Amino acid sequence: MNERAILLVDMQSFYASVEKVEAPHLKDVPLIVSGDPERRSGVVLAACPLAKKRGVQNASRLWEAQEKCPEAVVVRPRMQRYLDISVMITELLEQYTDLVEPYSIDEQFLDITGSLTLLGSPREIAQNIQTTIMNQTGIYARVGIGPNKVLAKMACDHFAKKNSSGIYELRADSVSADLWPLPIGKLFGVGKRMEHHLKRMGISTIGTLATYPLDRLKKRWGINGEILQRTALGHDPSPVTVHTHNEQKAVGHHMTLPHDYASFEDIKVALLELSEEVARRARFKHYLGQTVSVGVRGADFSHPTGFHRQIKLHSPTQYGTDIAEAAIQLCQQHWDGQPIRSVGITLSQLQSDSQYQLNLFDHHVQKDKLSKVFDAIHIKYGPAALLHASSLTSAGQAYHRAEKIGGHYK
């Protein structure tokens, strides 16, 4: 069997690139795409290369970015436009293979194994893709090439982005030379917390993890320990599939608050709004969920506080009141009383809503009828047409967020 040829195509500074293409006078100016600073959502979503050279980093706070680069032009995000361009790029990539898997709004996997005899080598196809995307959208793409998805991803992130051509191939026989010397935090799937744990075990590089005794890794993390080592070895059998995102493991929603919420009554308003949004998404995708998770982050960055807890419901649900009751209970039990900056709710253990077990004490039929009315009104008149009265208080955000996509302006 021939080795697979997988590409990871990544759009450089995607949001900022879109803004520069559509505003040519900003071409040679440092540009930052950020949320609405007046509502405390001033986080850098994207910075162009000129701004990054001045030290601006994605996910940093806007005021910090402006201190590093005072001359930067700051624009609000236009999420609908970015989504439209992302779909356009997907359609361009489908000219090269029918196996295109969106990984994020600005990254897409391609399996071009079946296209090699027609379109040339992986590098030739990557160069062609770069040219096509640039000509059609004006956006520069970097491309990682590998025999599987994980190596293509790391080829793009750690090598193609620093390569003058914007293309890099990470082969199975070059993993030990190219990948193993990198710090363990560079390994795909290793976050800050896992990096800390691995370093405490004396694992500071990817190569150290690749040659670490497997039994000790499995004893500490079970099957996840083996997966981490297989990743370090460059092994990844997962296919590129267009159906990856058709089935979800969870439905969730998160919001950064416009100011610190210090009272439980204000926090309850946010929990109720999030619960209704999560429930609406679950109904739209025809899911019921049985586990509710709540995550809260404190307002003090220098001394992080907050919690992440979950609770299993007596029966699966897709109704906001059920989710809100569980979320409020979790917050009552675990909130430390310190002001919070953000909160999120997730509904997991999903199953299809095509069949369910009736509960004599759950009033399922009444909830179902009421939810269908709510959904019909939202579809016809918009998400702000029908709200809980608490959303009209100063703590409410539902009316304002109705103007956004994914928490950002359309």
Sheet holding 31-34, edge to edge: 44-47, 31-34, 73-75
Tell me the one-letter amino acid at 100: V
* CA separation, residue 374 to residues 118, 277, 379 (Å): 52, 12, 9
E-strand ranges in 233-379 read: 250-261, 287-298, 306-317, 340-352
Cβ-in-10-Å burial (0-12, 13-18, 19+) of 176 comes to middle
Q: CA–CA separation, 99 vs 114, rounded Å?
A: 10
- Rounded Cα gap, residues 48 and 62, in angstroms: 14
Q: Is 226 a catalytic residue?
A: no
Q: Using CA atoms, how far apart are residues 249 and 102, in angstroms rounded to an integer?
A: 17
The residues, any chain, with a CB within 8 Å of residue 149's CB and separated by 6 or more, are 6, 8, 109, 236, 238, 240
Q: Is 106 annotated as a binding residue?
A: yes
Q: How far apart are CA 298 and CA 260, in angstroms?
A: 9
d(CA 8, CA 240): 10
Ligand-binding site membership of 173 (annotated): no
Catalytic choice (19, 107, 169, 276): 107
Q: Which residues are annotated as a binding site for Mg(2+)?
A: 10, 106
Q: Which residue numbers are catalytic?
A: 107
